[in-house]
A = this chain, B = another copy of it.
Amino acid sequence: MDQVKFYLDEKDMPKKWYNIAADLPTPMLPPLTPDGQIVRPEMLEAVFPKNLIEQEMSTKRWIDIPEEVRQIFYRWRPSPLRRAVYLEKFLNTPAKIFYKDESVSPAGSHKTNSSVPQAWYNKQFGIKRLTTETGAGQWGTALSFACHIIGLECKVFMVRVSFDQKPMRKTMMGLWGAECIASPSNETRAGRDILAEMPDTPGSLGIAISEAVEAAVTDKTGRTRYALGSVLNHVLLHQTIIGLEAQKQLKKAGIKKPDIVIGCAGGGSNFAGIAFPFTLDKINGAKIEIIPVESAGCPKMTKGLFAYDHGDVAGMTPLLPMHTLGSQFIPPAIHAGGLRYHGMAPLVSQAIVEGLMTPRAVDQLSSYEAAIIWARTEGFVIAPETSNAVACVIDEAKKAKREGKEKVILFNLSGHGLLDLAGYDKYLNGKLENSKVPHDEIARSLAKVQKTYAAASRKTGKW
């Protein structure tokens, strides 16, 4: 029987992160203010510490991972590369399916790869407290863990629908001393405004971001900042440790390069983590198919616009160049809470525009079907977000069988689903549906984006 698990020694863990901004064929479009001016670093200083703003704007190819951050990572990193031999056998496919297992972190997902350095850089800068949003709860849990280990306070605004679906997430954050409240809340102006208009809203990441940013910038001590779990350049940068480890481990497995790289994509960070190091290989000539997988319930990459839009509902963030369904769009209450975000990270969006990656959408029932196949072959319970990637992996493995090709498929298992069993329960009892794609709402929301975009563009005569 072929080897299943490929480990890497702690001493071989990458010492640098990879910054794809250095290598994209055309330079990145800058973030803009609502009146179309390029955002200057100092404009972000109420929100982020200076050292992270520098990282956000950096075009340096390799950026050092601080030694203290590495020592915290050793709890779970390097994470295992595994081969899904049991799934391969079940599918009777000639494809070889490898995956990075990011579920092994303390918080149960890849999110700790960025929460730890973000907390660390904030601490270095003298910050005492972080605020953040969380969808499914993975990011909030990861930041709670990191803040406890590094010595910061932490406050998490959790999207209402996930807060209700996954009550144990709050307990887990509390284990690390963090405070978690449902969003929209009455604690912020943004939250109160939304509640006045839509008292029964399931909430959205866009709303929770508005609340968390507001809570940070209105703190009178000046020692509170905001942390984001995806979308931004520095977050994607931190996640590249996944793909960099995978490259070393594939070598150990005797694989020169994967043919296909797959990751689910909510804001883009777990996908970028596995994909960017291989995107560099692709830019350098390697033939690799790279697939970000979104939920059909929130299809920004396959049905959205590439345009300047806000990262949040209240318009507190700069305008970012991205695939978006409109910052006002509130996605249906799919169980993959981490995929319920209206936009896609600018770095991923631009790589799509450049033709380096080809997005795909998966509907909710197909994702659960894939998750069940996974649990019944590989044996592990995966997060509903991850299930979307697995559905795509299974499709590609079947295609390889039809074509009779021994393709190497690599994907990122972003997290376990042990706190998401309520969704499995509904699926197993036939109570789950495909969320209907809300075409009309998307169209209305995109019309608004175009107006914002046109306004910014009129003011500057550019973009």
Contacts and interface: CB of A to CB of B under 8 A. Distances in A.
A75 B71 contact: no
When all copies of this chain in the complex are counted, the total is 2
Contacts of A221: none
Contact of A10 (B5, B175, B416): B5
A463 interface: no
Contacts of A3: 9-10
Contacts of A171: 421-422, 424-425, 428
A447 interface: no
Contacts of A10: 3-5
A7 interface: yes
Contact of A74 (B1, B76, B425): B1
A438 interface: no
B425 A106 contact: no
A380 interface: yes
A372 B421 contact: no
B149 A379 contact: yes
Contacts of A416: 418
Contacts of A375: 106, 175-176
Interface string A355-377: 00000000000000000100110
A427 to B, nearest CB: 10
A379 B145 contact: yes
A172 B421 contact: yes
A148 interface: yes
Contact of A379 (B75, B168, B380, B421): B75
B424 A175 contact: yes
A315 interface: no
A159 interface: no
A428 B174 contact: yes
Contacts of A319: none
Contacts of A372: 175
A86 interface: yes
A311 B396 CA distance: 51
Contacts of A145: 379
A425 B171 CA distance: 6
A104 B177 CA distance: 25
A387 to B, nearest CB: 13
Interface in A3-17: 3-5, 7, 9-10
A140 to B, nearest CB: 14
A326 interface: no
Nearest to A378: B75
Interface string A174-217: 11110000000000000000000000000000000000000000
28 contacts: A3-B10, A4-B10, A4-B75, A5-B74, A75-B378, A104-B104, A106-B375, A106-B379, A106-B380, A148-B376, A149-B379, A168-B421, A168-B425, A171-B421, A171-B424, A171-B425, A171-B428, A172-B424, A174-B425, A174-B428, A175-B375, A175-B381, A175-B424, A175-B428, A176-B376, A416-B418, A418-B418, A419-B421
Interface of A: 1, 3-5, 7, 9-10, 71, 74-76, 86, 104, 106, 108, 145, 148-149, 168, 171-172, 174-177, 372, 375-376, 378-381, 416, 418-419, 421-422, 424-425, 428
